Amino acid sequence: MAYDAAQLLDMSAEQLDELFKASPAGDIPDGAAKGTAIIAPGTKISETIAELINHFGWQGKVFDAKKGVLKNRILVIGLEAILARVYKAPSWLDNKECIVLDYSETSLLARRVRDEIRLIGPNFYLGQVYWDKDRLIHFCLQF
């Protein structure tokens, strides 16, 4: 099944977790991706929150697969900042392979953040954000 961001916003957190667990890591992506934060998934406010975050805070990520890094696109102007290392490793959720977006050595601001992504469709990844070892939110990336 092919997914889009709107469908993911309508899913519950449990459904998103099951989709993540059932999906392969996929290849480390390359290039720019539009990001959607999935906060309060499956609720009426999920889409509104995602739109606000996308407009004012976080628009997505720009990957450089050859260098194994990415930068986030943030703020209204789409500033590329907040560097992360990108590599494959076991997921903290299910211990199966995922793509890790690791800020621990590259960002003072986000050093306690670890993102994990898996491929859920052509050029489409589902992710989750950890603060230390605590899972915070889901997100998706459309290339």
pLDDT tier at 77 (50, 70, 90 boundaries)? confident
Pick the more confident residue, 65 or 78: 65
Strand locations in 4-123 (E): 31-38, 58-64, 69-74, 79-90, 97-102, 113-121
How far apart CA 15 and CA 13 sit, in angstroms, is 5
Q: Across the chain, what does the average pLDDT equal?
A: 96
How far apart CA 54 and CA 133 sit, in angstroms, is 25
Contact 97, 82 (CB under 8 A): no
Q: Report the domain count for the chain.
A: 1
Structure-block tokens of residue 3: 């997914």
Predicted local distance difference test score (pLDDT) of residue 55: 86
Predicted local distance difference test score (pLDDT) of residue 33: 98
Predicted local distance difference test score (pLDDT) of residue 76: 84
**Span 16-70, pLDDT tens digits:** 999 999 999 999 999 999 999 999 999 999 999 999 999 889 999 999 999 999 9
How far apart CA 114 and CA 36 sit, in angstroms, is 17
Pick the more confident residue, 1 or 130: 130
Beta pairing, strands 97-102 & 124-131: unpaired
**Span 106-126, pLDDT tens digits:** 999 899 999 999 999 999 999
Q: Which domain holds residue 98?
A: 5-142
Nearest residue to 73 via CA among 102, 45, 36: 36
